Structure 1
């Protein structure tokens, strides 16, 4: 049995697709979550590790292609794109043999797509669609979602509870939120620099680099946040800022 998540901003479309999935017999699929936006979708994908996601392309704030670029390619589930694009606009998906279904979803089209999925569950390379810098970073605050620009981030770090973002908010000073993206994705798709195995730093937010004993250092940001610098990355920072 395959675990699947349906991600679409239209509730009727989600409910209809889930009902059609339950009726088909090509492959046994358990829909373990239904999400109405990309931010919730990211959270559920990271939590539930599905084999398959049905991903709407046209969603507000963060669309399906942008969400795809926020997932780690090494743990990427199989993706079936769900879209209202016409056949001409879908040429890129056809050229790269990506699986997709058109809205409104026809049962026969779903069966055809799932038959292909059943025969080809190996990991796809979606780089042709996702090889772009991130313009928004989804974060979760207290009872709210935040969409931060990469330039607003001062520090990103990870611990046992996940990835956390320290950002500068002009009216309230620094604020800390949790983030569904991995440090690896943040490093690869933003200007954040690695300064420690568990820390990334925005080079434009550095106020001071303090040199410590044993070839270590720490960074103080413009809002006063502190990030450690390990030996491995200290030389890189010195070279970057010509601190020799």
Structure 2
């Protein structure tokens, strides 16, 4: 059962999303909140698996609410403006939906949530991963883990950057984090310690990693301190 809280200052938007979610047999709507201030104690008390969260709200925005949450539930931002998408993912979003929410697009989000929340068959994996199967067009390449710079997830799945190319992989980020030396630097990114050429500190306690190939890997404020501790940085 996926436990969901909906947060939106527009009553029609709240109710419409609830109506789309309610018929799903594996969905339980814990409640509806009219703003971020009302949502904060509900999240802390009810501990939902997922929060469908509007971005633009009076007094406290959805982005500001996310910065206050620890631990962080899976966040699906719901917005009328697609230019918020990049910022949404920088703020550890699991996904984002554009208003009005399309049932087909919502179904894709729910499918990803079901996969992410379901127990992973880790017993099928070796104690450690030496090579990552990478798919590119009609090729399958076994990528040596020591040659991988970083891995990331997006709406298309999980991808691995290796020697200037990006490959799709069927492994999850969680499996890669548990079974390889890759370090978590963002909800959607893992990076190889040997591929950290430079860490650039940005505004709002964010950062980005520059790899030897020149790629930029985001570091969210949630993982910045842990990453610096892992690398022995002050």
Give the TM-score, by structure 1 length: 0.46
Q: Which of the pair has more CA radius of gyration?
A: 1
Higher relative contact order (CA closer than 8 Å, sequence separation 6+): 1
With structure 2 as the length reference, what TM-score do the two structures score? 0.48
